[in-house]
Amino acid sequence: MTRLTGSALRLTVLIGENDTWHHKPLYTEIVHRAHAAGLAGASVFRGIEGFGASSRIHTSRLLSLSEDLPVAVVVVDTEERVRAFLPQLDELVTEGMVTLDPCEVIRYAGRGENQGDSGMKGKNWL
């Protein structure tokens, strides 16, 4: 398992829910490639409302506009590993936005680790 604490880089990929790569969701391909690249973790978050470069608002509040809601794929790892992963995103992301933000990892633990930590049993972030 990857050990990660201290300075890190957060990669956020903002795309549409309906974006695809070879007939499957683009966010799925990004997560699977991040996993194959050995990155520390990836999470996908579905937005309830947003707009992008096209300026068209997508929202879950109105059935007629609930298509192609925004999706954020977030990856956190060392700067070196995240930057090494960027060329794969160049291939995959043709529409959307990719951002990088410095961050600090305070805690990164999987299930079954550090069971003695009060109130943290079973918590798994990222």
Cross-strand bridge partners of residue 99: 12
By the 10 Å C-beta count (0-12 exposed, 13-18 middle, 19+ buried), 122 is classed as: exposed
User: pLDDT value at position 89?
Assistant: 96
Q: List average pLDDT for each run of 10 residues in the chain, which is 126 residues long.
A: 83 95 97 97 92 75 68 97 97 95 91 56 50
Strand, coil or helix: 21: strand
User: pLDDT value at position 109?
Assistant: 84
User: pLDDT value at position 126?
Assistant: 54
Contact 112, 29 (CB under 8 A): no
Strand, coil or helix: 104: strand
User: pLDDT value at position 16?
Assistant: 92
User: pLDDT value at position 65?
Assistant: 53
Report the C-alpha gap between 108 and 118 in whole angstroms: 15
